[in-house]
Chains A and B, each alone.
Chain A
Amino acid sequence: MNEKYTKTSTSSSFIKIKAPEVQEKVTSKLKKTNSNFDNSTTWNSFLTTISILSVLLCFQIVISLNPHSGESQPPMFGDYEAQRHWMEITLNLPIEQWYVNGTLNDLLYWGLDYPPLTAYHHNLLGLIAYKINKSWVELTDSRGFESVAHKMFMRISAIVPFYIFYLPPLIFFYLNSKKTSPMSYALALLYPALLVIDNGHFQYNSISLGMFLATYVFLTNNFTILGSMFFVAALNYKQMELYHALPIFVFILARSINKAQPLNSVFKIAKIGAVVISTFILIWLPFILTGTAKDVLLRVFPFNRGLYEDKVASFWCAFSFILKRLPFQSVQIYLSTALVLLCSLPSLISLFRQPSERNFRLSLVTTSLSFFLFSFHVHEKTILLATIPSLLLISDYPSSVLWLLNISNISIFSLCVKDNFPLSVFLFIGYFLVSYSTFPSSSPLKRLLQIFSVSTGFLICVLELYGPSNQRFPHIYQLANAFFSCVHLLYFLVSFSLESFEKVKKE
């Protein structure tokens, strides 16, 4: 790619990044001379990529030195302590006790509730931690352990998988896409909500999301077997990946069906099914052998936990002030399932009828959005499952996707405040300014409306920090944020669903 670049534009080797409009001019000129010329090579993709990555690394480290969730907040601490505790449990206890309540494994204190791959990963991390400093992972004695060295270890352990799992498929997608401009590329890589959750709040979302992105890349490049294996792995790292299961299933199904050769397509589907099942069995083997698979299942899908946690931008929480007066509390769980399916159905149908890559991306976004909005037991962090696939859509619908990304940043701000990390708002404002200063919108009115909406969101964030407190409604601003984000997400759900029925001009 670089060779091609230097051949065609040695004269313009002064600066490699080119502004979109300049780039357009250059490409149009080049197209005249060389019709096969690929868009993505008009900017030096290698240098641009590594310089964006280095800026990204700077941001990850600077977020890392800010407080993590539950920093010096006994007795329960936060997600950071949960991850550390899992390392402790998986390292010290035999595998059959990991998910089972016992004297040494108090499930009420951050009991393991993620699928087996997470447990294996934490076992590995626990081993490394043990090699560095035994006191980090000592059984029961290490609860609530905090030190600078340990924070460093944890932070690095969250940064590394970002580069191994998450970035390669994303970069691959962008460098292979015809429409990529350097700016949309940079905005996708620098999406701040994921950085704040993984490197600030502390979780390992980049692993499951990275495997999901890898699934997308493999499936769209016709490596179906490999793709479905990766998806099973993602699902077994974090059960939330179920949000993406429907579109992926439909996409594989629609691409495998060949009306001319029905026997062949049945064989194909059976093959994929066998691969999926055997991958599952492989991952669960230790638990099946020790007879604790059922305990794992019960921990992973806790139906006794309630509809939502904290003030999350899901439909049930944001509209709770109306809903709790309505008489359908008892059937809420069926209602939520029905609504999720109903809302994801349109885009799934469209995907089944025309399994194009764009429809696949759209349906991943809409399905995960409807799960986020209507499903049972949703966290603020789960919004990432909807926004990460939308990163793949920036080139298609820059203005709506950037709007969605900015709203998602605002929606996790309450979490940041709880983690004592309100400075994250500057990161979100920075992202807002960059995204809105670089991308022209289709119509100025729409753009103005979006800027107004995002600014309102930031106003709510400021109120969350400095607003006058209200005795009667102590969580009024968090609820306002949830309501604000929920209304926007409902709009995105509708607009992306409608979009999947639009005919694309080029595709």
Chain B
Amino acid sequence: MSETQWILSVGAILIAFKCLLIPAYTSTDFEVHRNWMAVTWNRPMKEWYTESTSEWTLDYPPFFAYFELALAYAAKFLGFDECLEISSTPKMSRKILIFQRFSVIFTDFFYLAVCALYSFHSPRLVERIPKKLRRNGREACFVLLATLQALLICDSIHFQYNSMLTAFFILSMYFVDSGRMLMAALTFSILLNFKHIYVYYALGYVFFYLVNYFHFSSENILCNVPKAISLAIALLSPFIFSLFPFFHVDGIEALQNIATRLFPVSRGLTHAFWAPNFWALYNFTDLCLYRVLSLLKIGKFEAPTYTSGLVQEYTHSVLPNVTPIGTLFLVVVSSVIVLTGLIIRWRRDSRPVDFSLFAVFSALSFFYFGYHVHEKAIILITVPMTIFAIKDPKYHRHLVHLSCVASFSLFPLLFTPFEILLKYAICLAYFLLQLTFLK
């Protein structure tokens, strides 16, 4: 089959599947996004980040707010006015459901297009694969990225717009692969202004650019200055586009409002569902110690509250409490160690280490030690890992392993009868697709 045939058939199957998923279960995120649409539509810009009629306040960066505003315009234009009502209680009707679900499906076309661009046109994707199998590698990359089980579960059932955001990241990787480093930085910066969770990749970018973009040889160290300036422009211009309108209407206060909404430190170390990271182990150890010590009647400890399933701040019973700054310190230390290791290997073997690996390790350390990590953040690791494994077939095994873990970590997201069946079926199908296309 040719490239177009692959894109058409995989895309058609996937989109058909997503359309049939419209009546499926939706989480509170559904109402969250509807509310954002209503807020951006009904309120002037300076109230976007202060409006709090509904408890699901806008807490994504401005580009996402603009995106919601665009959706609101579309809803108005197509006659879905119901979606645009600010209300303190969740609103749900068949019309709202149809509009919001199709908005996700619509952005999926963008994701599919970017996947196709990367898989079939990235110059670095198949460098290390024997010539005969290169085509297969590209096809495998496309199929595995397009049908990523985590995106299907998070976007088309749970309800979010992750595939659109992931598309920006893949686009950025495409630019890295084709050597257009400034464009890559620009795309990444745009992505950061859509959803700040993508800061997970930031350290990966920093380290990769240090080695691959700047030249620290002794002779012409000065040639880095113009490079640094253009990089700074590429990185900062999206921030200006996103933040300046707010600054313009409401001064510095607007920026403070945005900052408090984007980085709510009062949310607790772990999310309502613990993400499978270091702090889950930490909480578990604390819980065990508490139980054992209480049973043995050694000392008096307060009962832990982190098992309540609520999003809140809490204190540990036995082990010391962990502050956001503490987690950030651990993240930076762990990723600096690993990423420096990558650079050392690069120098030793004098063979470039692929950018996807930088992204994997950077996201992994954030995921593992970060403050209030969602289980959905596993997408940030599986996407670059898929690309890395396709580039270097030695690591197919690791990809399959990681995907299984990712599937399991996402299972708690869905708990209604049909969706339980569905999540197992989707993850099983993805696992088998991986086995079919990899190995």
Contacts and interface: CB of A to CB of B under 8 A. Distances in A.
- Report which residue of B8, B393, B436 has the largest number of chain A beta carbons within 10 angstroms of its beta carbon: B436
Chain B contact patch, size range? 35 or more
B421 to A, nearest CB: 5
Contacts of A47: 432, 435-436
B13 A55 contact: yes
Nearest to A14: B133
A90 B428 CA distance: 37
A47 B432 CA distance: 7
Given A148-B417, A429-B12, A14 B428 contact: no
A438 B1 contact: yes
Nearest to A19: B1
Contact of B425 (A11, A57, A426): A57
- Report which residue of A21, A51, A424 has the largest number of chain B beta carbons within 10 angstroms of its beta carbon: A51
B429 interface: yes
B426 A430 contact: no
Interface of B is mostly: helix
Interface stretch (A61-69, A313-321, A328-336, A453-461): A61-69
A107 interface: no
A485 B159 CA distance: 38
Given A50-B432, A62-B24, A152-B418, A14 B9 contact: no
Contact of A59 (B11, B15, B20, B135): B20
Contact of A62 (B9, B21, B133, B136): B21
Nearest to B135: A22
Contacts, number: 127
Contacts of A55: 13, 429, 433
Contacts of B140: 14-15
B9 A433 contact: yes
A16 B143 CA distance: 13
B425 A65 contact: no
- Report which residue of A14, A427, A429 has the largest number of chain B beta carbons within 10 angstroms of its beta carbon: A14
B142 to A, nearest CB: 12
B16 A429 contact: yes
A434 B12 contact: yes
B439 interface: yes
A65 B26 CA distance: 13
Chain A contact patch, size range? 35 or more
Contact of A12 (B4, B21, B132, B393): B132
B129 interface: yes
A270 interface: no
Nearest to B428: A54
B429 A51 contact: yes
A434 B13 contact: yes
B16 A427 contact: yes
B439 A14 contact: yes
A48 B136 contact: no
Given A14-B393, A15-B140, A437-B4, A51 B12 contact: no
B432 A426 contact: no
Given A50-B432, A152-B418, A61 B439 contact: no
A15 B136 contact: yes
Interface in A1-44: 11-17, 19-22, 44
Contacts of A149: 417
A57 B433 CA distance: 13
A274 interface: no
Contacts of A426: 15-16, 19-20
Interface of A: 11-17, 19-22, 44, 47-48, 50-51, 54-55, 57-59, 61-67, 148-149, 152, 155, 183, 423-424, 426-427, 429-434, 437-438
Q: Which 7 A-B pairs have the closest CB atoms?
A: A430-B16, A426-B19, A433-B12, A15-B136, A54-B429, A19-B1, A437-B8
13 contacts: A14-B438, A14-B439, A15-B437, A47-B435, A51-B432, A58-B425, A61-B418, A62-B20, A62-B24, A423-B20, A429-B12, A433-B8, A434-B13
Interface of B: 1-2, 4-5, 8-9, 11-13, 15-17, 19-24, 129, 132-133, 135-137, 139-140, 393, 417-419, 421-422, 425-426, 428-429, 432-433, 435-439
